[in-house]
Amino acid sequence: MVFSNFYGADLSQKLLDLVPKGLYQKLDKVDLNKEINEKDNSFDAVMCVGTFTFGHVKPLALDEFIRITNNKGLICFTINEGIHEEYGFDKKIDQLNKDNKWKEIEFFKSNYIASKDVNAWLGIYEVIK
């Protein structure tokens, strides 16, 4: 797959202001714990890295990712290992699998930030609609 139109989102306006101009076609301030202001089936892929961590985005965001991703589109994400079970990501992922909302391509624990001994689960799923 080749992707050419990139939309970016972050909750922090300070971080958004640091993004180089011209990198994204659209860049928005978004709270991923709320409904995402995008139409159903808007994207071929969604990538979420570094936000499923302590005190940040909760598992319900995965439902929103599925909603805004096209059939056979990809959802890629990391989940800090410390919140995987504590925040209920394990149960949410199991439910999405049982409900046939997506198909697992990869799901494994990785050495996410080796210099800080931080591990994370890496998930890559194909949406089924």
59 close to 87: Cβ distance less than 8 angstroms: yes
For residue 1, what pLDDT is reported? 77
- At 32 the pLDDT is 97
Q: What is the pLDDT of residue 117?
A: 78
Q: How far apart are CA 94 and CA 51, in angstroms?
A: 20
C-alpha–C-alpha distance, residues 121 and 129, integer Å: 24
Beta carbons of 129 and 71 less than 8 angstroms apart: yes
Could you report the per-residue pLDDT of 12-36, keeping only the tens digit for each? 999 999 999 989 999 999 999 999 9
- Per residue in 91-100, pLDDT (tens digit) is 999 999 999 9
In degrees, rounded to 5, the angle at the alpha carbon of residue 103 between the alpha carbons of residues 101 and 106 is: 135
Q: What is the dihedral of CA 52, 54, 56, 60, to 10 degrees?
A: 50
Identify the structural domains of the chain with CATH numbers, from first to last.
30-127 (3.40.50.150)
Tokens 């080796």 locate to 114
Extract the runs of DSSP E, i.e. beta strands, from the chain: 7-10, 26-29, 43-52, 69-80, 102-113, 118-127
Model pTM?
0.93
Q: Residue 37: is its pLDDT beyond 90? A: yes
